[in-house]
Amino acid sequence: MTITPELAGTVREINFESGAVVTKGDLLVKLDTSSEEASFVHLKPRFNGPKSASTVKPLLEPIKSVHSRIFDFGRSAWKQSVANADGTGAIIEKKTLRAPFAGQLGLRQVNLGQYLDAGKTIVSLQSLTPVYTDFSCPNRNWDISNLA
């Protein structure tokens, strides 16, 4: 299997050596995520308020000063902020490449500071555990005279 990025970016960290043995989840390469992290920090404070309508609406009922449309607009804006932050977090995760399974790495094909297009090979990964198969063979193909 070849390890490739889903998104393009500049290589900021390389955390492996050619031929190394890795376990599942080990960090291999981290692409530049500075702009996404800055955006994430900017988005996070926007959705640290109450998490649901059931939390806020009882507080507003006695006052009767907030129209339900204004409340719904605020709730919608909060949900959009959460979705934007989740999307930015997903981009950061996709630019952090980890070993999908345990195995041995091949030759490193990237360098620090190099710009990678999506799908460019970073390194190959080979599983060290044997693969077993189960298949049937009809009896007529057996030659038991060679077994003894």
Structure confidence at residue 98 (pLDDT): 96
Element of type H or E holding 104: strand 103-105
Contact residues for 47 (Cβ-Cβ < 8 A; gap 6+) = 78, 81, 82, 85
Structure confidence at residue 75 (pLDDT): 77
Structure confidence at residue 106 (pLDDT): 95
Structure confidence at residue 72 (pLDDT): 74
Cβ pair 1, 13 in contact under 8 A: no
Structure confidence at residue 141 (pLDDT): 59
Q: Look up residue 24 and give its amino acid.
A: K
Structure confidence at residue 56 (pLDDT): 58
Q: Which pTM was predicted? A: 0.66
Cβ pair 29, 14 in contact under 8 A: yes
Q: Which fold has domain 1-31+98-148?
A: OB fold (Dihydrolipoamide Acetyltransferase, E2P) (2.40.50)
Q: Which residues of the chain have pLDDT under 50?
A: none
Is the C-alpha dihedral spanning 67, 72, 75, 80 positive or negative?
negative
Main-chain dihedrals φ then ψ at residue 147, nearest 5 degrees:
-80, -25
For 45-79, the pLDDT digits (tens) are 555 555 555 565 565 555 555 566 777 777 788 78
